[in-house]
Amino acid sequence: MELLKAISILDRDKTVTLDCFGNKTDPLFFGELESLAISLPAIKLNGPISGIDKFQKLAQSDVIILPSYNEGMPLVLMEAMSIGLPIITTGVGFIPELLGPDYPFYCEPKNVDSLKQTLQKFFDYEKRTELSEYLLNRFQMNFSYAVHERRINEIFFN
């Protein structure tokens, strides 16, 4: 909900479109989202997405936004990192270990103003190429299949 509200009050000079994906597990919550999205034509609520469709959508995106209240290790952020896609998120759960404690695009959970400010900061950010390289390198050094395979081999064969 905070994301839709933050998008609706952004101070910007360019058009923003937002595609939201996920299961509609809470009918009341999604009813509220749909009511808010009706008044925001640049926002499209979609169902779940997976496989190649998800990677194609990530590759076509400028940023992925996950304003979560509570996370373990969100796979979608690792998928975004694996292609160097910038991320805007909250610093909850394992996310700071995933992105690093000094990652520049954390916002406060449940805080529309914090999310709005973080979105604006991202839109004004001029070092997106370096940010993408940072995320891709961090993924390759810590979470890639090769790193995972090496760690498994160390556990079982050393």
What pLDDT shows up at residue 135? Answer: 97
What pLDDT shows up at residue 11? Answer: 67
Closest to 45 (Cα-Cα) out of 17, 71, 78, 64: 17
What pLDDT shows up at residue 154? Answer: 86
Asked if 98 and 135 touch (Cβ cutoff 8 Å), the reply is no
Domain at 2-157: CATH architecture: 3-Layer(aba) Sandwich (3.40)
| Residue 92: CB atoms within 10 Å | 18
- List of long-range contacts for 33-40, beta carbons under 8 Å, 24+ apart: 33/1, 33/4, 36/1, 36/4, 36/5, 36/8, 37/4, 39/8, 40/4, 40/7, 40/8
Q: What is the pLDDT along the chain (158 residues), one digit of tens a residue?
A: 788 888 888 866 667 888 989 888 888 888 888 888 887 778 888 889 999 999 999 999 999 999 999 888 899 999 999 999 999 999 999 999 999 999 999 999 999 999 999 999 999 999 999 999 999 999 999 988 888 888 888 888 87
pTM of the model: 0.88
What pLDDT shows up at residue 10? Answer: 80
Asked if 92 and 68 touch (Cβ cutoff 8 Å), the reply is yes
Domain ranges of the chain: 2-157
Structure tokens at 10: 């952004």
Structure tokens at 142: 């810590």
Give the containing element (helix H, strand E) for 90. strand 87-90
Closest to 39 (Cα-Cα) out of 8, 2, 6: 8
What pLDDT shows up at residue 13? Answer: 66
What pLDDT shows up at residue 25? Answer: 86
**Three-class secondary structure of residue 25 per DSSP:** coil
Residue 43 β-bridge partners: 18
Distance CA 79, CA 104 (A): 19
What pLDDT shows up at residue 124? Answer: 92
Distance CA 82, CA 148 (A): 14
